[in-house]
Structure formats: structure tokens, C-alpha cells
Amino acid sequence: MRTIVWDIDDVLNDLMRAWFWEAWKPAHPQCSAAFEDLRENPPHRILGVERSEYLASLDDFRMSERGRDLTANPAVLGWLAKYGRQHRHVALTARPLNTTPYASEWLFRHFGTYFRCFGVVPSRPEPATPVYDNHKGDFLNWMGGADLFVDDSEENVALAESLGIRAMLYPQPWNRSRVSVPELLNSLMEQVDD
């Protein structure tokens, strides 16, 4: 059985879009940017704020009731319903450790039929927190690799590819993916079974 490693935020869910429209825009009515204008991640420069302000807002949203109840990506759920049983699935996220319990519960509530593993690379470790991995590439290397990696970060995709793992860039405004979500999911089987 092949193993597919999936990013959670902005792949299995729509965290950034929900945060932008439901938290950022209401708190910053003067913000003239649209979600599609967020061509960088993190988008603090586009939003005209310090990185710390952006991260605090995003983390508050992650831990809010709405952030803990994000809608699961229906396209990925549909793909998993059709093909999920043919592969093993691992979730790998990079986020602050204090928000991880919410992400883990969310993952298994929405995707638990298919996922058996949850990995996290703390995005901003506290001084007392052991650092096992500096980025997702380190985690994938420790894990012994995977057959396919799906993420919205070009950097993470490049790290996976540098380990010899096939990787697919999930389309978002902040990356250079030129495929649609249906196109990516249609080619997923070819990539993992090739």
C-alpha cells in the first residue's frame, strides 16, 4: 500500500480563506485586499501589518470555535471516498503546538475514516520545547519517506522532492500551481501509482 502525506491547513481545509473573510476583514474594514491578492504566505506585508499581528490573528482564529469547526475540503473528501482505501494517509502540519489538539481532533472528526497518523512540526517552538524537526522535510526524512506529498507550500514541496518523494503543489493564491483542484486530484492516482 502506498503512503500519501497530506498537509492539513489550506489543503484538507480552507483555513486561510475562512480566517481572512471571517476574522481579518471584519476586524480590519479598511483592508482593501481580496483573498486572491494574498500572493505570499505569510501575507503580513500585503496586509500592511507586522508578522506578529498577522500570526496572533491567525492563531486566535485557529483556536476559536469557528476555527475548530472549519468545513472539510469537499473535493478531497470526494477523492478519498473513491480512492482512499487504496492507500495509507498521513496528515502533516506545521503550526504552533498549542493549536495542535484542535487540528488533530478536527482531522480525525472529518477524515478519520482514512487517516491513521498525525504529525506536527511546531512552527514557532517555545524555548522549553524540544526541536526534533526544523521543517516538514526533516519529519518526512525521519518518517522514512512517503510515496506522495501534497502541500500548498512551494518550499515544503521542494523539501519533499529533495528526499526523492513525489510531491504535488495544492493550488492557492500564494503559490505558482497552474492546475485546478480537480486537475490535481485527477492526477493524484497517476502520481502515486506510477
- Report the SS3 class of residue 193: helix
The CATH code that applies to domain 2-14+71-193 is 3.40.50.1000
Question: How many other CB atoms sit within 10 Å of the CB of residue 104?
Answer: 15
Instruction: Extract the C-alpha cell encoding 166.
Output: 513525489
* 153 neighbors 175 (Cβ within 8 angstroms): yes
| φ and ψ at residue 186, rounded to 5 degrees | -65, -35
What is the block-wise mean pLDDT of the chain (194 residues), using blocks of 10 residues? 96 98 97 97 97 97 97 98 96 96 97 97 91 96 94 98 97 97 92 72
State the pLDDT at residue 1: 87
State the pLDDT at residue 145: 79
State the pLDDT at residue 194: 65
The DSSP output letter for 2 is E
State the pLDDT at residue 159: 98
| Cross-strand partners of 62 | none
Q: Give, in order, the Cα–Cα distances in Å from 71 to each of 17, 67, 93.
A: 11, 9, 17
